[in-house]
Amino acid sequence: MSDLNHEIKALIIDSLNLEDLTPDDIDSEAPLFVDGLGLDSIDALELGVALQKRYGLTLSAESEETRRHFASISSLAAFVEASRTK
Amino acid sequence: MQSTPLPSPGFRLLRWSAWAPGLATHEAWAAWAGGNALPSGDDAPAVKAMPPMLRRRAERLGRMLLETLFEPTLAYHGQPLIHASRHGEATRTVPLLTELARDGAVSPQSFSMAVHNATSGLFTIARQSQAPVTAIAAGPETACAGLTEAIGQLADGAASVLLCFSDEPLPALYQPFVDDAEAPFAFTLELATGNEFTLTSLPGRGGNATPLDLLRFLLGNASRLPLTARGNWHAVRTGAPA
């Protein structure tokens, strides 16, 4: 799981142009949006597209469930682990 | 019926800032204005004054404009902003359209930054400004269209306006359509009401000025600059105090 955490951190840095960050700078348990890493709604869309491309996931933009998956690196990793098709 | 001739539209240049590869200071630009070379190169400015979480959204064209807007001498305090660019973010839209044709999906982030007012909007977010932003693209008349809009907003009561221009060479796909000298650049002019420069239409047919032609004219001492072929509009240096 920690490998997947690292992989998702790298995907976030790359797809969201977080030019000054390394995976080690991102806390796996910290909030990704607003507080914590400070991502915004455009980042959420971008990250959704990146996750769908990389792992073959299906995401629902409106669901409360998606909101929970996107809470932190750890919750995203658990979601990817459970739902990936590639 | 007698008609009074309208006064010539005019403006004063209060301040300016500019950035292009190899041209980062007022001194370098003043020397450039005395010659006839065009900026060239692939460098992008650092835009250190902008918070990194916003700066990451901008690519080279946007970064050049942002560097000029954050220039301290401009002392931004919420002036209305006019951004004129002939081609805008063409270096983004070509890869986006290619991606759309290939995969059927595009990067939301890049799409959001590909619209014509994206960079000026990003600046107002960074400065938490609610000032109006106007985005203009007017083909080979982009320089004159930007000036016209600025003079219009000054006539409408703005104390001063920031008139920005930026462009860069078009992607390879569009090169067959290029019809003027291409160069990477951005500059911002702070203009106020006045008669240091006026616009006037002369008989006959003139030529179109690019934004860099306009900057060279403003920084130099030529008495006038042909602005548009249509209508033969000229910018005239009147010698009135700035």
Q: What residues in A contact B52, CB-CB < 8 Å?
A: 19-20
Q: Which of A47, A2, A38 is nearest to A20 (CA)?
A: A38
* pLDDT tens track for A33-42: 988 888 998 9
Give the total number of structural domains in chain A: 1
pLDDT tier at B1 (50, 70, 90 boundaries)?
low
* pLDDT tens track for B141-199: 999 999 999 999 999 999 999 999 999 999 999 999 999 889 999 999 999 999 999 99
Domains of chain B: 10-198 (3.40.47.10)
CB B135 within 8 A of CB B83: yes
Does A46 contact B at CB distance below 8 Å?
Answer: yes
- Other beta carbons less than 10 A from residue A61's beta carbon: 9
ipTM exceeding cut-off 0.85 for this assembly: no
CATH code of the domain covering residue A34: 1.10.1200.10
Global pTM reads 0.92
Backbone angles phi, psi at A47, to 5 degrees: -65, -40
Q: What residues in B contact A16, CB-CB < 8 Å?
A: 56, 109
To which residue do tokens 């000026």 refer?
Answer: B120
For CA atoms B120, B91, B87, B191, give the dihedral sign. Answer: positive
Considering only residues 15 to 34 of chain A, which have any Cβ-Cβ distance to chain B shorter than 8 Å?
15-20
Q: HSE on the CB side for A4, CA within 13 Å?
A: 16
Q: What residues in B contact A21, CB-CB < 8 Å?
A: none
Gap between the Cα atoms of B111 and B90, Å rounded:
11
* pLDDT tens track for B33-90: 999 999 999 999 999 999 999 999 999 999 999 999 999 989 999 999 999 999 999 9
* H-helix segments, chain B: 26-33, 52-55, 60-69, 90-103, 108-114, 118-126, 142-155, 211-219
Gap between the Cα atoms of A79 and A85, Å rounded:
12
Gap between the Cα atoms of B38 and B36, Å rounded:
7
Return the structure tokens found at B113: 């930054």
Element (H, E) at B226: strand B224-226
Residue A40 belongs to domain spanning = 2-83
Among B52, B105, B109, whose Cβ lies nearest the Cβ of A42? B109
> Which residues lie across from B83 on neighbouring strands?
B135, B164
Q: How far is B99 from chain A (nearest CA, A)?
A: 13
